[in-house]
Amino acid sequence: MTKLSVNINKIATIRNARGGNTPDVVAVAVDCERFGAEGITVHPRPDERHITKQDTYDLAKIVTTEFNIEGYPDQRFMDMVQEIRPAQATLVPDPPNVLTSNAGWDTQKHLEQLSELIAQLKSWGVRTSIFVDTNLQNIEYAAKTGVDRVELYTGPYAEEFHHGKEQAIAPYVTAANRALELGLGLNAGHDLNQDNLRFFRQSIPQLEEVSIGHALISDALYLGLENTIQRYKYLLS
């Protein structure tokens, strides 16, 4: 079964718009788990425009499922991971000024850097994941780093889905098969939603985890958080 990790960045975005602690990020994470989510994901950016460093430490105390911290692996990020020791650290290549993660790593170019980072994370007992696109070379060089999993960047899939889902999924199936051949676990995330999630999961049944934030939190405004999480879990079943 594919696990659902709820990215709660958007909850923090709403809170930060007014200051204070409404909505309460920690309380929402507890509710997500209570409603069936198998993980909580955060991306604590340096400018703290949504999840803050303090949020990350506060969440580490209460998350009872899998805590996934994703981000660019600068010293600040690595220090947090070392101190918190989450279930998983997902390395993304985006610089601090981008709006959202919108590309995977060039793993050949950054092989030495990523290999050193992965070795360090694994020495702390943290499961590792690298954010990648469907370029097979990037999958192959990700494997060379010693990483446990790759997270497939699904933005292009979501963009092409309504123009032709078979064409949209094809490179992901090829990439997933190559990753599995190399002994890598499979995660996925970015713009997955109620329309495109089931087809993605059915096409790649070995998928271990999806991380979904923007669409899920947006759906919860209409459907309620518990109902929304149950809908997403149903699509993954």
43 is catalytic: yes
Query: Mind giving me the DSSP string for 97-143?
Result: T-SS------TTTTHHHHHHHHHHHHHTT-EEEEEE-S-HHHHHHHH
Two tokens, residue 163: 């123009």
Q: Which residue in the list 33, 110, 190, 209 is annotated as catalytic?
A: 190
Q: Which residue in the list 33, 70, 151, 209 is annotated as catalytic?
A: 70
Query: How many whole angstroms from its chain centre is CA 183?
Result: 20
Could you give the residue ranges of the DSSP H alpha helices within the chain? 9-18, 25-34, 53-62, 75-84, 111-123, 136-144, 155-160, 165-181, 197-203, 214-223, 225-236
Phi, psi of 3 (to 5 degrees): -80, 145
Two tokens, residue 207: 């998928």
190 is catalytic: yes
* Cα-based angle 205, 172, 51 (whole degrees, multiple of 5): 85
Q: In Å, how far are 44, 141, 150 from 179, measured between CA atoms?
A: 28, 10, 8
Q: Which positions are annotated as active-site residues? A: 43, 70, 190
